[in-house]
Amino acid sequence: MEIRIAEDLKADRMTIEIIDDGSGMDEEMMQRALDPFFTTKTVRRVGLGLPLLAEACRMSNGQLCLQSCPGKGTTVRATFQNSHIDRKPLGNMGDTLFTLIVGHPEVDLFYEHRKDGAFFSLDTGEIKADLGDIPLNTPEIASALRAGILSGLQELGV
Amino acid sequence: MTLQEAVDRLEMKPLSALAKLSAEVSGGYVSDLLSDVMANAKAGDIWVTLQTHQNIVAVASLKEIAGIVLIGGREPDKGTLAKAEEEKIPLLLSGLPAFEVVGKLYQMGISGKR
């Protein structure tokens, strides 16, 4: 999976891209994916993730684009007008990222955050290769990982 | 108090799920942030909002909300209306601002206490 965030002050645009190599969607499912009453979950009939993201984009003069290919994967591309008064704050990306990683250590996650020329990136696939047999969510490793993420993002001014 | 009584007293226009207007209102919530409503609304609440996108129907359905008051005369999108009918969620249109709607409901005895 890739998560790419770009904050471009000059172009006044914030972009969030989420790219996976999962099972992908056909054209019909892509149309339905933005319907709050469509979900592949079996536990209830309502799926709000993509619909609410689409609404957040719309409210800040941006848009949500879905690209997908069955068998190959999906790209969700959310754009926002950065300075729009209704553009919601990004929030605590550090802890969000950390939670994603330790919650699903089996996923190879590439994270890139660009802000006006500077950037921070992290590749858990690479980290896991370096660690060898040691699991990513071993307490000492996880702790060091979290510290690294938070300081990296802090340096970026995020 | 039932939704129908609220409709009558506040002179609202019911737009969908008319059969559900006899439902009891057990409380009230006002918010335009759907994530906030997801976290804090209760089943049986009357929900006051300016949001008109069909996501409000999904949230209302999920939280078993008794009915949604759309304020400021903001008409729901066509999609929202259709979904509200399908999901049997009453949408009530009020020309009043949210503050007035909530004030009047409160005076009628509806509590927002969580």
> Tell me: the pLDDT tens digits for A85-140?
999 999 999 999 999 999 999 999 999 999 988 999 999 999 999 999 999 989 99
Interface test with A, best of B51, B61, B64, B86 (most A CBs within 10 A): B61
Q: CB-based contacts of A5: which residues, under 8 Å, 6+ apart?
A: A14, A15, A16, A17, A90, A93, A112, A113, A114
How is residue A80 annotated by DSSP?
E
Tell me which chain A residues have a C-beta less than 8 angstroms from the C-beta of B87: 37
Quickly state the pLDDT bin for A42 (edges 50, 70, 90): confident
| Interface contact flag, B58 A48, Cβ < 8 Å | yes
How far is B36 from A146, CA to CA, in rounded Å? 28
Quickly state the pLDDT bin for A17 (edges 50, 70, 90): very high
* Domain membership flag for residue B8: yes
- Number of domains comprising chain B: 1
**What domain range is B87 assigned to?**
3-107
pLDDT above 90: residue B67:
yes
pLDDT above 90: residue B106:
yes
Mean confidence (pLDDT) of chain B: 96
* Domain membership flag for residue B93: yes
pLDDT above 90: residue B114:
no
Please tell me the predicted confidence (pLDDT) of residue A104: 94
CATH 3.30.565.10 residue ranges of chain A are: 1-88
| Interface contact flag, A51 B38, Cβ < 8 Å | no
* Domain membership flag for residue B40: yes
How far is A62 from A15, CA to CA, in rounded Å? 9
**What does DSSP say about strands A63-69 and A73-81: parallel, antiparallel, or unpaired?**
antiparallel
The average pLDDT across A61-75 equals 96
- The ipTM (two decimal places) reads 0.77
The average pLDDT across A18-31 equals 95
CA atoms within 13 A on the CB side of A54: 18
* Domain membership flag for residue B31: yes
- CATH number for B81: 3.40.1390.20
* Domain membership flag for residue B72: yes
If 0-12 CB within 10 Å is exposed, 13-18 middle and 19+ buried, where does residue B73 land? exposed
pLDDT above 90: residue B78:
no
How far is A93 from B18, CA to CA, in rounded Å? 44
Please tell me the predicted confidence (pLDDT) of residue A41: 86
Please tell me the predicted confidence (pLDDT) of residue B77: 85
pLDDT above 90: residue A9:
yes
**B39 to chain A, minimum CA–CA distance in Å?**
13
More confident residue, A116 or A152: A152
* Domain membership flag for residue B97: yes
CATH number belonging to domain A1-88:
3.30.565.10
Please tell me the predicted confidence (pLDDT) of residue A44: 86
Quickly state the pLDDT bin for A79 (edges 50, 70, 90): very high
Please tell me the predicted confidence (pLDDT) of residue B30: 98
Structure tokens belonging to residue B37: 């409503």
pLDDT above 90: residue B12:
yes
State if pTM tops 0.90: no
Mean confidence (pLDDT) of chain A: 94
pLDDT above 90: residue A12:
yes
Interface test with A, best of B35, B37, B52, B55 (most A CBs within 10 A): B55
* Domain membership flag for residue B114: no
Please tell me the predicted confidence (pLDDT) of residue A75: 98
| Interface contact flag, B34 A48, Cβ < 8 Å | yes
Signed CA dihedral, B48, B90, B112, A52: sign only: negative
* Domain membership flag for residue B16: yes
Cβ neighbours, 10 Å, residue B48 = 24
How far is B5 from B70, CA to CA, in rounded Å? 16
Please tell me the predicted confidence (pLDDT) of residue A119: 94
Tokens 């339905």, residue located: A32
Quickly state the pLDDT bin for B52 (edges 50, 70, 90): very high
